[in-house]
Structure formats: structure tokens, C-alpha cells
Amino acid sequence: MENIIKGKAYVLGDNIDTDQIIPAEHLVYSTSDPEELKKYGHFALSSVPIEKAGLPEGRKTFIVGDNHQSEYSIIIGGSNFGCGSSREHAPLALQVAGTKIIVAESYARIFYRNSVDGGFLIPFEGNEKLNDKIKTGDELEVDLASNSLKNISSGKTYQLRPLGSVYDIVKSGGIFNYARENNMI
């Protein structure tokens, strides 16, 4: 993984739950079959209600048409991101859809742990609420070394909470790979 990740923002509101991230009806696909795995990306964020999308002009589609990858690689969320059930398919679906980083005000603990332990996503927490300062489509740059997010579209920079060893675990591909690489198992 590189130290600077650039991408377009997709902004969401508070309390985005795992059933909105990947609806239960789409958990029938195999994660080991490459073609079926793409379905998780295709259906990611397909059921977020407009009132939770955090967009004054209404919700923009995360995945367009029959694609399985989104043009938005950085999600900006509100508080309690990933609440609901403990399904590990939620961070997987976002990863398959092309999400690299989520910056949220706060996370549901199980979603945060699933993101890190599976090596799916980098879950940053902001030092302030950002989903009312950043708009969907804004070009962003996240500097992993300085824990900062620059909104290239607006020119504003925001400090993020340090990741600690979380980045190393995600970079390794998950907790078990990290443990193997560091002779812990």
C-alpha cells in the first residue's frame, strides 16, 4: 500500500448499518468464486435510504449499472458507521467495490474489527464530523503517514486520529497474515 491514497469521496450520514452496506438477500454468493465475489461489490450500498445518504441533492448511486466497482474509493461517514449485525461481508463488499478507506466520526466496534482483522479497509476516525464538510464527488487525498485528509476540491485539510498498528494489519492482509509475518504464530 502506498502512503498517499487519492480518490473521490462518497458521503453518507449517521448509523449506516451492515444491512445497508450489503443487504442480507445478497449474502448467497460465494466469496471464493471470483465471479460471484463481484456481486458483493455490485450490491454494496445498494439500499441506503436517501435520508441517510448525507447529500442535500439526494443520493447518488454508489455502483452504476452492471459494474461491481465504484468510482468512489473513499467513504466519508457519520457516527456509528457499520452498526447492526456482525456480518464480515460488509467490509468485504466495500473492498470489492473499490473502497480503500473509510473516514467516519465513529464506528460500530464489530465493523471496525472486521475491517481490520480481514485486511479489507483502512478505517480512519476523524477528529471532527466530516460528512457535513465534504461532498460526494470531492477529490480527496489521505496521507497515511501524517494522518491527514486533504480535500483537493475545497483546499481544506483535516487531521485524522492515528491508526497505530491498524494500518500494518490491513497492509498485511489481515490479522492472521500480520501475525505470521511477525512470527506470532
Distance CA 79, CA 81 (A): 6
- pLDDT at res. 81: 96
CA distance 2 to 54: 29
pTM of the model: 0.92
Distance, in Å, from the CA atom of 150 to the CA atom of 142, rounded to the nearest integer, reads 6
Instruction: Tell me if 29 sits within 8 A of 42, measured CB to CB.
Output: no
Question: Cβ neighbours of residue 131 under 8 Å, at least 6 residues apart?
Answer: 11, 12, 13, 14, 54, 76, 77, 78, 104, 105
pLDDT of residue 50: 58
Helix (H/G/I), strand (E/B), else coil: 21:
helix
- Provide the grid cell at 18: 451492515
Report, as an integer, the average pLDDT of 155-159. 98
Weakest mean pLDDT among 63-67, 106-110, 111-115, 157-161: 63-67
Residue reference for cell 445497508: 20
Per residue in 44-102, pLDDT (tens digit) is 998 766 555 554 455 678 888 899 999 999 999 999 999 988 788 999 999 999 999 99
Q: What is the pLDDT of residues 129-142, one digit of tens each?
A: 999 999 999 999 99
C-alpha cell of residue 12: 453518507
Across residues 132-157, what is the average pLDDT? Answer: 96
Looking at this protein, which amino acid is placed at residue 68? H
| Long-range CB contacts for residues 167-173, cutoff 8 Å, separation at least 24 | 167/1, 167/122, 169/116, 169/117, 169/119, 170/1, 170/115, 170/116, 170/119, 170/120, 170/121, 170/122, 171/1, 171/119, 172/119, 173/119
Domains and CATH numbers, the chain: 4-181 (3.20.19.10)
Say if CB 4 and CB 146 are below 8 A apart.
no
